[in-house]
Amino acid sequence: MRNENDRLLAASEPEPAFRLLARHRAGLIIRDLRMPRISGIEFMKRCRQLRPEAARIILSGADERDAVPTPINDVSVYTYLTKPGDDSALRNMARETLGGAVKARTEIAAAK
């Protein structure tokens, strides 16, 4: 999934994450639906404002599944994964999401 130009940035709190996004480009943002101080949906709304080009994935507990689909549409989240899950599912989804995001950006650039 990673190549020599990839860099993983991580933050455990919303404000440091927003500062990272303000300073660095992001291809993919992954966040839990439930998080301290701000909901995952509100977090993704802010991420979309800061980095609209970044693909977004939300992680949620199985008991939260019913609360997820409508808010996902509100913040243009590519998909969500339930947890607990295995790491390979997350890696595969990240690859698929990044691949789709790159393809979309390429098609948009070609159309200009």
The candidate with the shortest Cα–Cα distance to 59, out of 25, 93, 103, is 93
| Domains of the chain, earliest start first | 14-111 (3.40.50.2300)
3-state secondary structure at position 24: coil
Q: How confident is the model at residue 73 (pLDDT cuts 50, 70, 90)?
A: low
DSSP category for residue 25: -
pLDDT for position 19: 93
pLDDT of residue 81: 64
Mean pLDDT of the chain: 72
Q: Give pLDDT, residue 107.
A: 43
70-89 as b/e: b if 16+ CB within 10 A: ebbeebebbebbeeeeeeee
- Of the segments 55-59, 62-66, 87-91, which one has the largest average pLDDT value? 55-59
